[in-house]
Structure 1
Amino acid sequence: MKSVQIYTDGACKGNPGPGGYGAVLLYKTYRRELSGGFRHTTNNRMEIFAAIAAVELLNEPCEITLYSDSSYLVNAVTKRWLYNWKRSGWVKRDGQPVNNIDLWKRFLAAVEPHKLHMVWVKGHADNVENSRCDALAVAAAARRNALPPDTGFR
C-alpha cells in the first residue's frame, strides 16, 4: 500500500463569506498542489473540503497521513465524533442536526478504501506545508466573485 502525506487548510474571508481551500499531496518525489473555493461558505466547510478534494485524487487504496490545523476535522476522526454522528443518524447528543452533513458523508466515502491517520498541526507555526496550504486557501478565497456557490451551505 502506498504511503501518502496530505496537508490541508481552509480559509474564509468572513465566516461565513468567500472561502478557499488548499492541499498538498506528497508521495515519494511526487508533489501535487490543489486549491479552490466557494463564494459563500464557512471556514469549517473549507477545512473538510480540502481533505475531501485531496483524498478524492487518489486512484488506489493508500495509507494516508493527513495533516490539518483544524481541530474540528482532526477531532471528528480521532475522537470518533464522525462515526458516532453517522450511527446516530447525523444528530448530535443535544438533538440538533450535525453541521456539514453533506461534506462529512462525502469525506467518509472518500477515505473508506484507505488507511487514514490524522495529525493535528499548529497553524501558522512554521510548518512549511501547512503554510503553503494556507497561502493556497487564502488566495482561492480572494477570488470571491469568480468562485462557484457552495450548494451544500445553508
Structure 2
Amino acid sequence: MFQKNNITIYTDGSSRGNPGPGGFASIVVINDERVIELGGHDKHTTNNKMELMGVIEGLKVSLGHVTQDIQTVKVYSDSKYVLQGITTWIHNWKKNNWRTAAKKEVLNQELWQELDKTVETVSQKKVKIEWHYVKGHADNPYNNRADIIATTSADIGETKIMFDGDFTEWHKRFD
C-alpha cells in the first residue's frame, strides 16, 4: 500500500446535516517516509463538496512533494461520487460546457473545475494518478482515520495540519 516512489492519499468528507457544517480530511503519505494529515471545514456545505475538497487539498499538498523519484500518486476515497466524477463523468461535462447528460449545470462545478486543474498540474509533472475506491466505515484504518479528521474538523470548525512528521511514528497508532 505505502511504497517508495509513490504518494498515497486517503481522503474523506463529512457534513453535519446536508447542508450543514462540514469537514474534510487528507492524509498524504510521501514515499512511506513522511505523513501530513490535513483537516478543513466549511460552516455551511454538503458532504459531496467536502469529499471533493479532501481530494483537492490532498493533491495540492502532494504537488509540493513531487520529485523526480515520485512515479505515482494513489488516491483512496470512499466517495463514489468523486471517483465516478473524476474518472468517467468529467470528460463529457467538459465537452458539454459543464452540463450533464440531462443538460443541467454540473453541481459543484467550481470544485470539479479546481480538481480537474489540479489533476492536470500533477499530470504535467509526469506523475500518474491512480484512483481507488475504499469502503467507508469498514475495516480500513487509514480511511477510518480520515473519517475521524473530517468529522472532527466539521465539529470544531478549524482548518489545520493535524500531523506532519515521520511515517514510522505516525504508523505506530495502527499497529
TM over 0.5: yes
Deviation at 1:2, TM superposition (A): 3.8
Unaligned runs of 5+ in 2: 160-175
Partner in structure 2 of residue 151 of structure 1: none
Partner in structure 1 of residue 74 of structure 2: 65
Q: Does 1:15 align with 2:18?
A: yes
Letter in 2 for 1:101: Q
Q: When the two structures are superposed, what TM-score results if normalisation uses the length of structure 2?
A: 0.78
CA distance in 2, matches of 1:110, 1:143: 28
Deviation at 1:104, TM superposition (A): 0.5
Unaligned runs of 5+ in 1: 148-154
- Larger helix proportion of the pair: 2
State which drifts further: 111-120 or 98-107.
Answer: 111-120
CA distance in 1, matches of 2:91, 2:115: 11
Q: 2:50 aligns with which of 46, 50, 56?
A: 46
Which structure has the bigger radius of gyration?
2
State which drifts further: 42-51 or 106-115.
Answer: 106-115
Q: 1:74 aligns with which of 67, 83, 94?
A: 83
Task: Within 5 Å, give how 1:67-106 maps onto structure 2.
Answer: 67-78=76-87, 80-106=88-114
Kindly report structure 1 stretches of 4+ aligned residues shifted beyond 6 Å: none
Partner in structure 2 of residue 140 of structure 1: 153
Q: When the two structures are superposed, what TM-score results if normalisation uses the length of structure 1?
A: 0.88
CA distance in 1, matches of 2:144, 2:41: 17
> Residue 56 of structure 1 aligns to a residue in which SS?
helix
Pair 1:56–1:41, CA change in 2 (3 A): same
Letter in 2 for 1:127: N
Deviation at 1:77, TM superposition (A): 2.2
How high is the sequence identity, in percent, across the aligned residues? 37
Q: Does 1:30 align with 2:53?
A: no
> Residue 90 of structure 2 aligns to a residue in which SS?
helix
- Count of residues in Structure 1 that have an aligned counterpart in Structure 2: 145
Q: Which string of whole-angstrom CA distances, capped at 9 and with x for unpartnered residues, describes residues 110-142 of structure 1?
A: 111332111001000010110000000000111
Partner in structure 2 of residue 130 of structure 1: 143
